[in-house]
């Protein structure tokens, strides 16, 4: 196995079990590893530190897997990690929910591997060369553990290009899923399109937050912005919302949302789905003098990295200012950020700034986070990406 020696002092983060070694930390590579090979990382004093996947294309030159020298990164090791991750989610599979994340990359010691369960199918994202190399082993272990009908690759993320591997999108094993397959979450049925839907097809990270928000929705008018396939919309309708308006710019999202309204036999006259740019639509509502009891803002990632933070902060601020202006007094704003670079304190500041600009006095009444199938290793704070605030307008 190739050994990679770190510069003096650079062992600290590895000893604290942070899973990334940046290229600038490497002192010497003893041998010529291929991208995706498992390498041994040592300190400047030649002490063993960890095993990890090497990649010379990425800013993260080694993605660490294992800190115990006596372990071998072989089929047994993958079986142990995969089975452990799957077992820890077992209780999430109930009669009401069969869509959730089984494997969450670094949080489950498999950097670059994301696996979502959607009823009888698995949707897989492979975002590192190391995982790409281990793909045959990983697929056979997933088949053995879960007996899915089919496994679909949704690795068309830009993250792959940072690792120097091309995008993939296709059937990896078994049967191809139908254009729309039905999954359940919180007792609500969703049609999802694994092959063409966004990300891996569904945003299962909002499961708990949808339910929490819906508990405030009875008899209320709700505006669900960036609705995608209707997660917040459907939960609010299920809890007896008076009317829900959903806005998304994607035609497929709106079409899927409408299918989901029908599928769950919700009253169509209570649901109004609009295909539009959210900023434009919010301004139009403001012009019309329209108001809502609850506004949900769940935008895509505005800050892909720290360097984009300033611009993202302004975009979040403008969006939230508009959202706040559409609320009745006593109304609630449920606002989210899935940008890892925006931490909860920064997000609170942005919302404070938005409230000031909107001329509204607000109280935070709840804080939202990511659900337990997206766990956060304390040694890897970067894994905490989803945060939100439930804010009451006074």
The set of catalytic residues is 338
C-alpha–C-alpha distance, residues 277 and 322, integer Å: 13
Taking Cα atoms as reference points, which of 33, 87, 35, 43 lies closest to residue 67?
A: 43
Is the sign of the CA dihedral 146, 159, 388, 277 positive or negative? negative
Residue 250 within binding range of ligand SAH, rule CB under 6 A: yes
Instruction: Return the range that interacts with ligand SAH (CB under 6 A); candidates 49-57, 221-229, 256-264, 380-388.
Output: 221-229
Site size toward ligand SAH (CB under 6 A) is: 18
Q: How far is CA 63 from CA 23, 35, 66, 133, 293, in A?
A: 11, 11, 10, 14, 46
Nearer to ligand SAH, 135 or 199 (CB): 199
| Residue from 116, 298, 373, 384 binding ligand SAH (CB under 6 A) | 298
Sheet arrangement for strand 38-42: 20-22, 60-66, 48-54, 38-42, 3-6, 26-30
**For the chain, how many helices (H) and strands (E)?**
11, 20
Q: How far is the CB of 234 from ligand SAH (least distance, A)?
A: 9
Give the residue carrying structure tokens 């969703």.
Answer: 190
| Residue from 58, 129, 221, 227 binding ligand SAH (CB under 6 A) | 227
C-alpha–C-alpha distance, residues 357 and 317, integer Å: 9
Q: Of 187-216, which residues contact ligand SAH (CB under 6 A)?
A: 198, 203, 206
Q: How far is the CB of 386 from ligand SAH (least distance, A)?
A: 11
Q: How far is the CB of 205 from ligand SAH (least distance, A)?
A: 9
Q: How far is the CB of 359 from ligand SAH (least distance, A)?
A: 25
Nearer to ligand SAH, 277 or 310 (CB): 277
Q: How far is the CB of 195 from ligand SAH (least distance, A)?
A: 16
Residue 180 within binding range of ligand SAH, rule CB under 6 A: no
The answer to whether the beta carbons of residues 333 and 324 sit under 8 Å apart is yes
Instruction: Return the range that interacts with ligand SAH (CB under 6 A); candidates 48-56, 107-115, 224-232, 349-357.
Output: 224-232
| Residue from 142, 253, 295, 312 binding ligand SAH (CB under 6 A) | 253
Residue 335 within binding range of ligand SAH, rule CB under 6 A: no
Q: How far is the CB of 368 from ligand SAH (least distance, A)?
A: 12
The answer to whether the beta carbons of residues 250 and 201 sit under 8 Å apart is no
Q: Of 38-77, which residues contact ligand SAH (CB under 6 A)?
A: none
* DSSP reduced 3-state for 142: helix
C-alpha–C-alpha distance, residues 309 and 164, integer Å: 25
CB neighbours of 55 closer than 8 A, spacing ≥ 6?
Answer: 35, 36, 61, 62, 63, 128, 129, 130, 163, 164
Q: Which residues bind ligand SAH (CB under 6 A)?
A: 198, 203, 206, 226-229, 231-232, 247-250, 253, 277-278, 298, 300
């Amino acid at each position: 196995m190739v050994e990679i020696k770190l510069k003096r002092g650079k062992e600290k983060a590895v000893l604290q079990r942070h899973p990334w070694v940046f290229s600038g930390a490497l002192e010497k590579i003893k041998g010529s590893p291929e991208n995706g090979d498992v390498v041994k990382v040592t300190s400047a004093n030649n002490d063993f530190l960890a095993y990890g996947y090497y990649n010379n294309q990425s800013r993260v030159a080694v993605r660490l897997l294992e800190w115990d020298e006596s372990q071998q990164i072989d089929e047994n090791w993958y079986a142990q990690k995969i089975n452990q991750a799957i077992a820890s989610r077992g209780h999430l599979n109930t009669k009401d929910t069969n869509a959730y994340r089984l494997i969450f990359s670094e949080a489950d010691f498999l950097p670059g591997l994301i696996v979502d369960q959607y009823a009888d199918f698995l949707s897989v994202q492979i975002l590192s060369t190391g995982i790409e190399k281990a793909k045959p082993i990983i697929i056979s272990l997933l088949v053995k553990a879960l007996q899915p009908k089919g496994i679909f690759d949704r690795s068309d993320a830009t993250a792959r290009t940072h690792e120097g591997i091309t995008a993939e999108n296709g059937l990896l094993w078994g049967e191809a899923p139908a254009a729309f397959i039905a999954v359940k979450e919180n007792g609500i049925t969703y049609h999802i399109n694994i092959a063409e839907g966004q990300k891996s097809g569904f945003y299962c990270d909002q499961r708990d937050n949808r339910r929490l928000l819906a508990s405030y929705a009875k008899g209320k008018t709700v505006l669900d912005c960036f609705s995608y396939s209707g997660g917040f919309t459907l939960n609010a309708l299920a809890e007896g919302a008076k009317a829900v308006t959903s806005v998304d710019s994607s035609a497929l999202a709106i079409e899927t949302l409408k299918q989901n309204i029908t599928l769950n036999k919700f009253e169509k006259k209570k649901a109004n789905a609009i295909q539009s740019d959210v900023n434009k639509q919010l301004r139009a509502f403001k012009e019309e003098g329209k108001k809502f009891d609850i506004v949900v803002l769940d935008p895509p990632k505005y800050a892909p990295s720290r360097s984009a933070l300033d611009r993202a902060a302004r975009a979040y601020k403008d969006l939230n200012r508009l959202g706040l202006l559409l609320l009745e007094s006593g109304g609630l704003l449920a606002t989210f950020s899935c940008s890892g670079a925006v931490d909860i304190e920064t997000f609170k500041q942005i919302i404070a700034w938005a409230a000031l600009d909107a001329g509204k006095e607000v109280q935070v009444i709840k804080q939202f986070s990511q659900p337990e199938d997206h766990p956060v290793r304390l040694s890897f704070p970067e894994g905490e990406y989803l945060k939100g605030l439930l804010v009451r307008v006074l």
